[in-house]
Amino acid sequence: MKYILVLLIGFVLFITCPIHAQFKEKPILNLENEDKALLNWGYFLGFNQYDFKFEYKNDLDDVLVDKSIGFNVGLIGELRINEFLDLRFEPGLFYTNRTLGYKGFANESDAIREVKSTYINFPLLLKISARRLGNWKPFIIGGASASLNLGSNEDSLDDNSSGTFRMTKTVFNWEIGFGIDFYTEYFKFSPSIRGIFAISDEIIPDMDPDSPWTGNIDAMKTRGIFVNFTFE
């Protein structure tokens, strides 16, 4: 999480300088007609940090989660509704790695489960923008998404007793975030920060109902934060 905090501070410093400059002088407007088209297209690059939220049946030891930084890449299709509202479809590929730690095992091979996930995410989002101020425009964005986890192991006949951690292949989420559109001479650049929160349970229980890995877990849901850099 400390890496995310450092990046958030850098993001704030990054956007503060151009905002301050806009109030000091009247800028030359770039790409004045950029947002007037009915359809706009672009792509995004970024990074993420995914976590799990666990709900337990009994008050026993929690599952520990060691998070890492992953990456995102995807495309953008935007439908203009009016000056302040846009409907966006942002299909993307999200790679992440989480390591789960279980207490009470003598062997590391039993105590550790590495969960590598490659999500293909399909979000439908509503972007709400403020009025353009010079060459920048803040916005908030939110909506729902469905994700396909290519590393779920859902169809595996093995479970944790054989070292295989299983998750559902399809995940439903809601997303919310904020960002700023910057209008450069040649393209619109939009850094943004967004949270993603699963609303569906992702864990597939082991065949043994008293499994030390899944027996006490009532639900397991993804949550995460990601930073995207959009080019349109």
Helices (H) and strands (E) in the chain, counts: 2, 10
Q: Which of 33, 37, 122, 125 is nearest to 75 (CA)?
A: 122
The answer for residues whose C-beta is within 8 angstroms of residue 18's C-beta and 6 or more apart is 135, 136, 182
Rounded CA separation 15/214 (Å): 44
Rounded mean pLDDT, 36-63: 94
CATH 3.40.50.11890 assigned to 2-231: no
The torsion defined by the Cα of 97, 114, 196 and 205, in degrees rounded to 10, comes to: 160
Is this prediction's pTM over 0.95?
no
- Domain map of the chain by residue range? 2-231
pLDDT in tens, 111-139: 999 999 999 999 999 999 999 998 999 99
pLDDT category, 9, cuts 50, 70, 90? low
Residue-wise over 127-152: b if at least 16 C-beta within 10 A, else e? bebeebebbbbbbebbbebebebebb
Distances (CA, A) of 149 to 96, 118, 122, 229: 11, 6, 12, 23
